[in-house]
Structure 1
Amino acid sequence: MPSRLHFREDDFLRCRFAVSPLWETQEVARTLKRPDRHGYHAPWLRRVRTAADALDLGGLWLLMPRRGHSPDWLCPPPAGPAVGFEDEIAVVRSADPESAREDTARSLADTPGALDSPRGRAWLADPARMIGELADTLERIWHTLVEPDWPRLRALLEADVAFHSRRLAEVGLGGLLPEINHRCGWHAGTLTVDSGEHERHLGGQGLVLMPSVFSWPDVVTGFDPPWQPTVVYPARGIAALWSEPAEHTPDALVRLLGRGRATVLAALTDPAGTTALAHRLDLAPSSVSAHLTTLRDAGLLVARRYGHQVLYERTPLGMALASGGGGGNGGEGRRG
């Protein structure tokens, strides 16, 4: 049975996108637990394996059943479109112990043996201690595994939001939701998500749409009141996230634009900001910024502001040059 989220008229006015570093942090732990999620993230997993093995994730894994409930208090939907990890972890630490106990007991019951495990019994006996221990674990995961790569992750997530925001303006919410992921369907004011079994009337709260890197390949919903109704979906561009820059930029492009500008144009397979490109290409941000400005002025890129940064993407002419083609679409189509 799919999940169903029922909209009323005022819900359409309260839909928004968000990016959550806390969500990515807890999903890293889930990815480490589940080999079926490794896929695109295999290069990253090889790089961080030693650091990940030094973390004690056993307690967190008790609350991550393969099928069933994960505690909402442990990773609530973000309050704003681009909150910081420190703000989000503060919300976790302020969770009401009795509500967290009830939510946690439900999750432990979905993991065989967890409810009667020594750790599970200790947490239910002292939920305030449980909150502190799990928040500490999330902080260690953030600082060790996520924060070093956050500029790259954030750039990909914000590029997804920029893309889907434009699509929302073009096709409306009913047209956008099925595009976000093939598991999503829309009919007569109801969003269906092929992900678990959950039903909720939004009741004027609207919906948060949240792209995620580490939730791949899953679409996640099921947040219960009082939490904001939310759908988490795999972000666009994950396949190229951990790939290194191409070793060889096409010679014709280099002759036309020069080595630096050609390299930057070729690297913009998905929208990105100056900092993310500089990190990816191992170039000085000032050099990348200068190349981006020149490419934009030449009509090969467009720049759009999202939040605190400007994202650049190729125009049809830029796509054609980068791919070596002559057509207006440059061999690249829209991906939902």
Structure 2
Amino acid sequence: MPLALHLGTADLTRCRFAISPLCQTHEALRMLRRPARHGYHRGWLRRMRRAVAGLDLAELWLFIPPVGGYTPDFLGPPPQEPYPTIEDELARMHATDPVLAHAEMTRSLACTPELAESPQGRAALYDPAATVRRLADLTERAWHALLAPDWPRHRAVLEADIAHRSRRAADGGLDALLTGLHPAVDWAGQTLTLRRYADVADVQRPDGRGMLLMPSVFVWPDVVSGFARPWQPSLIYPARGMGHLHTTPAPRPPEALSRLVGHQRAAVLAGLAVPASTTDLACRHGLAPSTVSAHLSVLREAGLLESRRQGYYVLYGRTALGDALADGRFTPGAG
């Protein structure tokens, strides 16, 4: 049955975006537990097979049911700021109130009755503060093994999604933003309706507190809404461009674009469906880094690309005009 969330005026003025490395880590773990969700990430899973084999995640699996069920919210709570660091989020997880942790773990274990009565389940509930510490330590190890090596690219995809949707909101208002989140999300009459969703038992209603929107690389094909009190009502949806994150073949650029800027430069632009570094693009296109750098400079000066630093990397992504040209939605010389 669909889930309908009514957003009043106060909620609409408090809608915001956030990127959470902690939430991304637990979405990745949930995906490992739910094979039907592998889809776009088979290449990533092949690369991560050895890392996963080296992790003993048994205690985390207690609280991440393989099919349906509830995962404790304190494992990946909605962030309080737009771009928290993993260190800050892990510190917040370590500080979880043991009473809250006990309640959420009890609810999660109840989804699989044999777990609630198992020695592992009873041990986890016996000392919730110690269990939280162990789960936080396991999560930190999972972060370093599964996400940290690729985090600059993952974060670039999430930031590009937020930038794209912010442009939609600037051009068409909140209606344009909320109607394009996901095919299973409808927006009409100030009501956000999720026609297909996951993990929504006892979903919080915004009630004037606004809605937190979080793009995710790993949530596909689901949309996740919920978080019981005291957490911020949130909607986690698949990030735009996540399907290209772990694929290496570069798309063929439109012929008109190749004639306009040259084949190599057009290929570099077309290959930036997901933001990438000079080194990534050089490997993908079989070009020298200096050649790619020269092409990127020209494309950026033409207003087709923008760049931003992520740690040790500079990542390049397409602007709205760059998207239009690469997707063939703008014919050079037309008009």
Return closer, same or farther for 1:189/1:250 CA change in 2, 3 Å cut-off. closer
Return closer, same or farther for 1:82/1:311 CA change in 2, 3 Å cut-off. farther
Correspondence for 2:21: 21
Deviations 1:151-210 (A, max 9, x none): 111111111111111112223223322311122122322222232454533233211100
Q: In structure 2, which of residues 208, 213, 235 is the aligned counterpart of residue 204 of structure 1? A: 208
Shift of 1:12: 1.2
Correspondence for 1:162: 163
The answer to which of 75-84 and 250-259 deviates more is 250-259
SS at 1:180's partner residue?
coil
- Contact residue 43 and residue 242 of structure 1 kept, 8 A: yes
Correspondence for 1:192: 193
What is the one-letter code of the residue matched to 2:173?
A: G
Alignment partner of 1:214 is 2:242:
no
Return closer, same or farther for 1:207/1:315 CA change in 2, 3 Å cut-off. closer
Return closer, same or farther for 1:284/1:115 CA change in 2, 3 Å cut-off. farther
Alignment partner of 1:328 is 2:335:
no
Correspondence for 2:132: 131
Correspondence for 1:244: 248
Distance 2:24 2:205 in 1: 26
Deviations 1:101-131 (A, max 9, x none): 0111001101241111211100110001100
Q: Which runs of 5+ in 2 are unaligned?
A: none
SS at 1:268's partner residue?
helix
SS at 2:63's partner residue?
coil
Correspondence for 1:334: none
How many residue pairs are counted as aligned between the two chains?
Answer: 323
SS at 2:5's partner residue?
strand
SS at 2:115's partner residue?
coil
Distance 1:280 1:298 in 2: 19
Q: In structure 2, which of residues 264, 277, 296 is the aligned counterpart of residue 292 of structure 1? A: 296
The answer to which of 197-206 and 307-316 deviates more is 307-316
Correspondence for 2:182: 181
SS at 2:193's partner residue?
strand
What is the one-letter code of the residue matched to 1:124?
A: L
The runs of 4+ residues in structure 1 deviating greater than 4 Å are: 247-260, 283-290, 304-311, 314-320
Alignment partner of 1:312 is 2:317:
yes
- Contact residue 304 and residue 310 of structure 1 kept, 8 A: yes
Q: Which structure 2 residues correspond to residues 74-113 of structure 1 after superposition, within 5 A? A: 74-113=75-114
Distance 1:35 1:263 in 2: 34
Distance 1:74 1:175 in 2: 32
Percent same amino acid among aligned pairs?
A: 48
Distance 1:228 1:304 in 2: 32
Return closer, same or farther for 1:185/1:256 CA change in 2, 3 Å cut-off. closer
- Contact residue 305 and residue 322 of structure 2 kept, 8 A: no
RMSD over aligned Cα atoms: 3.1
What is the one-letter code of the residue matched to 1:235?
A: A
Return closer, same or farther for 1:269/1:83 CA change in 2, 3 Å cut-off. same
- Contact residue 253 and residue 262 of structure 1 kept, 8 A: yes
Distance 1:12 1:302 in 2: 31
TM-score scaled by structure 2?
0.85
Correspondence for 1:45: 45
TM-score scaled by structure 1?
0.85
Alignment partner of 1:266 is 2:279:
no
Shift of 1:143: 0.5
Distance 2:309 2:225 in 1: 25
Distance 1:230 1:298 in 2: 38
The answer to which of 194-203 and 221-230 deviates more is 194-203
Distance 1:179 1:23 in 2: 22
Deviations 1:236-270 (A, max 9, x none): 11221111143988999789757864442231224
What is the one-letter code of the residue matched to 1:328?
A: F
Correspondence for 2:152: 151
